[in-house]
Structure 1
């Protein structure tokens, strides 16, 4: 009886580990097409549909992209992909790792890359030739986002109006995690209340009371969904434009 129980516990542990690994592993590439957008400095854009602003322009050294169906009504904001083109005479083997920061529709393309990212699809001596194509055949797969030295941050969006209208954008979401809901706890409520996804990675709530609030995030991966609570609160004197450290990271 005890032996059988030990075996069951062991198998359960193995299953949990395997499910966790699935969140980080996606070996299959999907075929698609990619193009690029104009940018004077070759970085991203600060006016992207995800609401990231300057973060969306410079994150990942500007190797960013707008996507079409992968945008998923904003859930795809901040996700990471390995993208590589498939024309052997001009394309680099590994391609480029990008962060999704915008929504965009192209000529049957899933990715509209920043010029910096698009150039890295090519072998060093074939960059100009690749740009002359405009649209290239690619393959892509989702990969884990990695932000060395950064925890998950919640930035108070510049459109927030202290104290009654709060809007936040989530930054540095690591791993292969989708944040599908955000809830707040205030002592006046004595319950968790859902924020609204305003657009992209921006969440908001009206009629906020004064005082600090706790945050928790519904994290979805391909093995399931769970809630993760920030170890840091949003202070009672929060300010628009300021990013606060959650003191946690999702892997």
Structure 2
């Protein structure tokens, strides 16, 4: 009996050592974002087949082509946009219960890059598609045409949140000046979104950044002449990553800096 007890204790501590070792090595983190259940909503489109009219947007991603988002994007109704916390989230949509749906119910995977604002002059069921509390996707036309015929105008859809798959690390586009740093966060994988963010200069500790709008965060601090690191927590998965020395000491506003890390 004593031998069995010693064996159990030894195995327990060996197992804890393996788990602790993996955690220290970065093998474990907070839960990775998983696909959600399918829900029902509606979808329209804006812009034309070139998607040129969808560039920019409330999330602040700028040129969606050069920044990696392409035409597979959508503006979210304010319920989904969630004051900018929905920026960067990825969704799968398929047309349902409409004669305009393509056969086989193909799926379009899109990234949220813009806000579809309310239109209170129109009824929520007749033109005011993005009026709260409606859940609605206003898709770039090329994305809409992957699931339904464009002449439908509006179609019912099934949708779900899915992890964002991105190539490369998180990107940080700088605005502001040496005393006020405004950063647009792009190319975020995993949950795709940001809940909180910190910046650290080579001469400072971690400084909490406040949410400005969309996917932008700001710090009122003297950071000029310092290399900058960032710490980010995902809004959806609560996972945290640290991107060290993203920008050199001679960083400049108007430039975008890339990290080597990203969410799962």
Q: TM-score, normalised by structure 1?
A: 0.80
234, 253, 258: which one pairs with 1:219? 234
Equivalent of 1:185, from 189, 200, 206? Answer: 200
- 1:52 maps to what in 2? 61
- Where does residue 78 of structure 1 map in the other structure? 88
Contact 2:46 2:141 in 1 (8 A): yes
- Give RMSD over aligned pairs: 2.9
Structure 1 unpaired stretches of 5+? none
Separation in structure 2 between the aligned mates of residue 214 and residue 241 of structure 1, nearest angstrom = 17
**Residues 93, 159 of structure 2: 8 Å contact kept:** yes
* Structure 2: distance between partners of 1:195 and 1:20: 23
Is the CA contact (8 Å cut-off) linking 2:90 and 2:192 kept in structure 1? no
2:140 maps to which residue?
A: 114
How far apart are residue 44 of structure 1 and its match?
5.4
Q: How does 1:212-251 map to 2 (within 5 A)?
A: 212-222=227-237, 225-251=238-264
**C-alpha distance in structure 2 between counterparts of 1:63 and 1:84, whole Å:** 13
2:189 paired residue among 174, 183, 207? 174
Alignment of structure 1 residues 1-150 onto 2, 5 Å? 1=5, 2-3=7-8, 6=11, 9=15, 23-26=32-35, 28-39=37-48, 41-43=50-52, 45-55=54-64, 59-68=68-77, 69-87=79-97, 89-92=99-102, 93-105=105-117, 106-107=128-129, 108-122=134-148, 127=149, 131-148=150-167, 150=168
Going from structure 1 to structure 2, the CA distance change for 1:181 and 1:138 (only over 3 Å counts) comes to same
How far is the alpha carbon of 1:141 from its aligned partner?
Answer: 0.4
Q: Which structure has the greater CA radius of gyration? A: 2
Offset from partner CA, 1:160-201 (integer Å, 9 cap, x none): 23x222111111111224321111122443x21111111000
Deviations 1:184-242 (A, max 9, x none): 122443x21111111000111223232222211123444xx343110333222112221
Deviation per CA, 1:100-153: give whole Å up to 9, x if none. 00011451451011111111112xxxx2xxx232221111001111123x2111
Classify the secondary structure of the residue corresponding to 2:194.
strand
